[in-house]
Amino acid sequence: MKDRRNKTGTRKGAALLVVLFVVMTVTILSLGFLSQSDVELSCGENMILRTKMDYLAESGLEHAKGLILNPQDIDGEYWTGATRQQLVGGSDEYYDVNVVKLGWCNYQITCEAYREKNGEKIGSSRIRGELRLDPGIGFWAGETWVSELQAIVNGDVYCVQDLKGQADINGDAFAGRNITATNIEGRKSALAAQTPVSWPGLNISNFSSNYYAGTMSYPVQVISPGTYTNRTFGSALSEPPEVFYCGGNLELKGGVTINGMLVVDHNLTISDSNGATANVITAGKNFPALLVGGEATMNNGGKLEVKGLAQIYQRMYINTGAANVNINITGGLFINIGNIDGLNGSSPTNSVTITAAPSLASIEIWPAPGNPVRWTPAGGAFFRSIKRI
């Protein structure tokens, strides 16, 4: 009789080894799956974080765009950026913005969004865009403008009627009727059904005796009608800006500096007095620079520099035979009835340069206490390019 016990024991031991091998295999595979799941979960979390930071960086661009279009809301000329900005207060997600002005209506905006952990930046996303204010009106003519080569407009132009001539227009041109001007860098929009921006609508009556800033009333500084040379009016640091009012005709014969707003109820004449320096008018924050109820006349050797918004009810005229006339306006020139007249056939030594600067020309005034009115020569803005860096 054969003994079967050894065979049975052998079989039981082999089965145990098989079971242990299967358990080990399943365990290894399970650990592999768990490890792979952890990796995939981390990858998913990283992707979510990167996506959130990408959107947060884009929000930084929009933040900058809004403040550039509304410079009245910031203290300086334009918003240069800020650090550690948040969409949700108290979170650990921030963005830093840097703004650099490239030209009269162009800005480069760089934004970095990140999550902060233990004082370190994680999940960072950087983006850069070039913002163009469009339209950015530098010169508004209330009728047909027959421009000459001595005129340069760095920015966009709008004519209520026709736009003709050879002035260098380094921007877009809009006209209520036809455009036959030749030296236009940008696009031409003739027969415009609507104005690209609204008229500033400044009224001399709001600045003839007193003016408001918020709910407070301030008296204007009265300048008697007459002729002035080598005089300084106002302080560049005045807050709110000072307003200087002349109830008649005013002549500036060189070397006159006005820090604030000049209001002339009638006509303004710019002349030369033995080679004196230019007459300079610099607007205060959110206030216009120049408001003229009549016309502005340039005599021989007259030099005028305006930094801010200039609104003239009638034309700006260069007298016949006048030479060495220089007009330099950075901000915007808006003429209600007329245009820049007298350049045609005048001396080649005369020049007019108008540079659109919405950051300087945008205003916030108070016709009544506590009721501000805002205006800007920028009709909108778009990003010419956006790229991740």
Q: What's the pLDDT at 182?
A: 93
Q: What's the pLDDT at 190?
A: 96
Give the rounded distance of the alpha carbon of 370 from its chain centre.
Answer: 25
Give the rounded distance of the alpha carbon of 37 from its chain centre.
Answer: 50
Same domain, 298 and 316: yes
Residue 1 inside a domain? The answer is no
pLDDT, averaged in runs of 10, over the chain (389 residues): 52 70 74 60 72 94 96 93 93 96 94 92 92 96 94 97 96 97 95 95 95 94 96 90 97 96 98 86 97 97 97 96 95 96 89 96 94 95 94
Residue 261 inside a domain? The answer is yes
Range of the domain at 285: 137-375
Same domain, 163 and 143: yes
* Number of domains composing the chain: 2
Residue 367 inside a domain? The answer is yes
Closest CA to 292 of 202, 355, 176, 388: 202
Same domain, 93 and 145: no
Q: What's the pLDDT at 205?
A: 94
Closest CA to 157 of 360, 376, 354, 327: 354
Q: What's the pLDDT at 37?
A: 58
Residue 2 inside a domain? The answer is no
Same domain, 152 and 121: no
Look at residue 161 and give its three-state secondary structure.
coil
Residue 357's contacts (CB-CB under 8 Å, 6 or more residues apart) are 104, 138, 155, 330, 331, 332
HSE, CB side, 13 Å, CA atoms: give it for residue 363.
30
Residue 93 inside a domain? The answer is yes
φ, ψ of residue 36 to 5 degrees: the values are -65, -40
The neighbour count for residue 313, using CB atoms within 10 Å, is 20
Same domain, 174 and 53: no
Residue 351 inside a domain? The answer is yes
Same domain, 92 and 186: no
Same domain, 196 and 128: no
Tokens, residue 11: 């079989």
Q: Which residues of 261-279 are buried (b: 16+ CB within 10 A; e: fewer)?
A: bbbbbebbbbbbbeebebb
Same domain, 370 and 232: yes
Hey, what long-range contacts does 107-112 have (CB within 8 A, 24 or more apart)? 107/64, 107/68, 107/78, 107/131, 109/60, 109/61, 109/64, 109/65, 109/81, 110/389, 111/57, 111/58, 111/60, 111/61, 111/64, 112/57, 112/60
Hey, what long-range contacts does 382-386 have (CB within 8 A, 24 or more apart)? 382/131, 382/132, 382/134, 383/61, 383/65, 383/129, 383/130, 383/131, 383/132, 384/106, 384/129, 384/130, 384/131, 384/132, 385/129, 385/130, 386/61, 386/127, 386/128, 386/129
Q: Are 304 and 109 in contact, with CB atoms under 8 Å apart?
A: no
Same domain, 127 and 164: no
Same domain, 118 and 226: no
Same domain, 71 and 152: no
Residue 33 inside a domain? The answer is yes
The pTM assigned to this predicted structure is 0.87
Residue 301 inside a domain? The answer is yes
Same domain, 77 and 163: no
